[in-house]
Each structure stands twice: as C-alpha cells, then as structure tokens.
Amino acid sequence: MGLQELQAAGDEQEVVRGLLLRNCNVISETSQVASGVHVLILGKRIAYVGPDPPTEAATAVETIDIRGGYVIPGLCDAHVHVTAVSANLHDLLVLPSSLVTARASVILEDMLMRGFTTVRDAGGCDWGLAKAVEEGTIRGPRVLFCGSALSQTGGHGDMRLRGEDREPSCCPTLALGRVCDGVDQVRLAAREELRRGAHHIKIMASGGVSSPTDRLANLQFSADEIAAIVEEARHAGTYVCAHAYTAAAVKRCLELGVRSIEHGNLIDMECIDLLKQTGSFLVPTLVTYDRIKRGGEASGMPQDQVAKVSDLLGKGLEALNLADKEGVNICFGSDLLGSMHKHQLEEFALRCRVQSPARVLRSATTTCAQLFNMEGEIGIVAQGAFADLVVLRTNPLTDNFFSLSDPSHILMVVKEGSIIKRID
C-alpha cells in the first residue's frame, strides 16, 4: 500500500492525522537494529520507515524526536483472561457482569500501558467487551476473543464446586468456560461462539490448576467431540486452541487438528515432532505458575488449587527449552488471574532463562502475528502495518528486557497511531 492510499484509508476526515517519530533505533523482525530511522504514521497505520521522511506527508504532522530510543512493535500476548478479575474463578459464577466488566476495563488499560497492543483472550471476554475497546469506550489492547472456552462436565471450564448442582447454563456470559457434552452439544456450542464473533475456539482438553474438581492428568472431551469442534472452526475459517498439559492430551489434540497448544508443560519429543509436522503453535505461560506459587492464596485462589502448581514452572521451562531448540512455533502467553495480572511482563525474564532475548521478542511479535492470522498487520515496524509501537530507553535484546520490566524505561506506547503513554 502506497503513501497516498494510506493517507486515504488512514482516516475518514479530510486531513489525515499524522505523527512523525524521528531519530529512532528500530528493532526489525530479524532482531537487527537500524539507527537514525524515521517512522511516519498516517491515521492508524505506518506510512514510512526509513532514513529520510517523505515530503508528501499529511498536512498536520506532530513530530517527536525519539533521540535514539529503541522502537519495537506493540507487544502481543496470546493467552490472557481479561475477565478473570478474581484468582478464584468460582467467583465469576456469582459476580454480576457489570462488575466484571468494570474491573476488566482496568485490567485492559493496564495491559496497554505495559506495551501490549494485541491480546488473544483464551476464555471469558465477549463481543461487547472487545467492541468497547475497538470503539474507544474502554482503553485497552486489540482483543481477539473466543467467548467462553468449551469444557466437558467436570472439566477445566466447569467451575462448580463438588457440592453444587446448579445447571451449567446458568453461568454468566463473562465466565471463562461453558459446559457441553456429546458431539451435538459441542457443535452447537462452537457455532454459538462463532455466531457471537469469536476469533477462534478454545477447548479444555486436560485438567487444570484453577478448576475445582479435576486433576492435571485428566484427558477431557472424547476424540469425536474434539474432531467436531475442529471441523466447525475450519468451516468458519478459523482454528481451535486447546488447554493441554500432558503429552497424551497434546498428542491427541494435534492429531485431531488443533492448531494452538496452551501451556504444554509436560510434552515429550513425540509432541515436539507433531508440533513441527503440523506447523502448530505452542503457547507456554510460565509466569502464572511462578506467581501462583508465590502468592496465589493471598490473591484469593483456594489452597488445593495452588497445590496443583507443584513443579509446573520447572517442567514448563524444560518444555520451552526443548521446543525452542527444535524450532517449534512459540508464542508469548501469561495466563494471569486477579491481582496477579500486574506481573505480565515478568514472562520475558522467565523465558530468557532458556531462550535468547531475540527469540523471546519474536514470540511476542511476529510469531503471534502468524498465529493470529495477522501477518504484516501487527508484530512488525513496517509500511502498511498498524501503527502499534513501543519506545524503550534501552535495547531489550541486550538488557534481557529490563527496559520493559521497569515502567520508567517505557518512553512511549502507540496504538493505531494514537499516543497512549509518553514519558519525556
């Protein structure tokens, strides 16, 4: 798309909103640093990246000298729960949706201020909340939502306690999961989430930490049920992501056509081979285990659920190291709950224990763009892409993301051409 087309498409007003960032150190998708670069933004998109800004810029252009600050694409998080306003997910069965939405708006804005301009919600967010962000009613990152994750009775998305017999259909729309059993029910549930605008479908294919009545080792949903959900997603032009911890659960999902594996802490080489053969994606979520172990109970998570974390962080690092060495498509994810959302950026430091900073950054930019089917639109500083940018005081690839973990080093956050945060 050329400059004139970007001017025409960038804004419906006669004069396109313009922003010129001068003297940038731009980190490319190959982790190279280009110095003395100017980035011209017209409307919501990047119009030019290079040494000399074009003279045919918009009539009104705000110019900011970055003075050698480091410019990276807006960050992506492929596994969030923006409506997880409590670390005890049972609370979402009883809290009014209005209160959940109000608290979620704070979570969303905080994510944006940390530099995340696109997130994939893995259960809970609905069309209305995502639309409120899109139209600017709520400040937050672009939200790619699945609606409610699909779960079997007693599965990871069934938050009823052992002594509760309420019908699962009574669960509020912003709850993380919905219960469905049998091929007919799962097809209907998938179709309903797609009708409501779901960007993807999420299934619970194994037990989990924050669910009250299952174990991590549980296999969940039958093969026929998973195959039916995958078929419905494909018919709608999208894909399925699956919560899965064990090697058995991961292998079954990949063999049945699931495209994205969430967590995967207990995978083996057979899983790695299948991930590579199918071109599927792995979304580790290390920081949530670290934070649950440190302060899960203080955040409101029941003690028996905290106990499930056990050695999941150590196993997750081993799985990430293995997947990284074998060239698996790896995406950034955090999966934090309640008051623990504020630790989102700590995922970078944890991954740097086994990955290079360059690969970690790619997991939160270009690889997420591939998973989201948004290549060329996000995760890159290039002409035609959305103007989603983060400006840092120092190079995150040489300081192991200290510049991201310290808010004073985040000089600017730009989403779709609008300055969200700026420190002079």
List the one residue out of 353, 349, 369, 367 whose CA is nearest residue 320.
353
Would you say residue 353 has pLDDT above 50?
Answer: yes
Query: Which two three-digit tokens encode residue 322?
Result: 């293995």
**What's the rounded Cα separation, in Å, for the pair 254 and 232?**
16
Give the tens place of pLDDT for each residue, 227-285: 999 999 999 999 999 999 999 999 999 999 999 999 999 999 999 999 999 999 999 99
List the one residue out of 40, 100, 95 whose CA is nearest residue 71.
40
**What's the rounded Cα separation, in Å, for the pair 205 and 199?**
19
Fold of the domain spanning 3-73+379-422: Urease, subunit C; domain 1 (2.30.40)
Give the tens place of pLDDT for each residue, 27-79: 998 899 999 999 999 999 999 999 987 665 555 689 999 999 999 999 999 99
**What's the rounded Cα separation, in Å, for the pair 320 and 400?**
17
> What mean pLDDT do residues 303-329 have?
95
Q: At what angle do helices 127-134 and 97-113 cross, to 10 degrees?
A: 40
- Label residue 16 by pLDDT band (50, 70, 90): low
Q: Is the pTM of this model over 0.85?
A: yes
Q: Where in the chain is the domain with CATH 2.30.40.10?
A: 3-73+379-422
Q: Where in the chain is the domain with CATH 3.20.20.140?
A: 75-371
CB burial class (10 A; 0-12, 13-18, 19+) of residue 327? exposed
Query: Which two three-digit tokens encode residue 72?
Result: 């990276």
**Domain 75-371 falls under CATH 3.40.50.720:** no
Q: Within 13 Å of residue 108, how many CA atoms lie on the same side as its CB?
A: 28
The residue among 329 and 310 whose pLDDT is bigger is: 329
DSSP E strands in 161-273: the ranges are: 177-179, 201-204, 240-246, 260-266
Do 33 and 27 touch, CB atoms closer than 8 A? yes
Do 237 and 206 touch, CB atoms closer than 8 A? no
Q: What are phi and psi for residue 24, nearest 5 degrees? A: -100, 150
Do 308 and 265 touch, CB atoms closer than 8 A? no
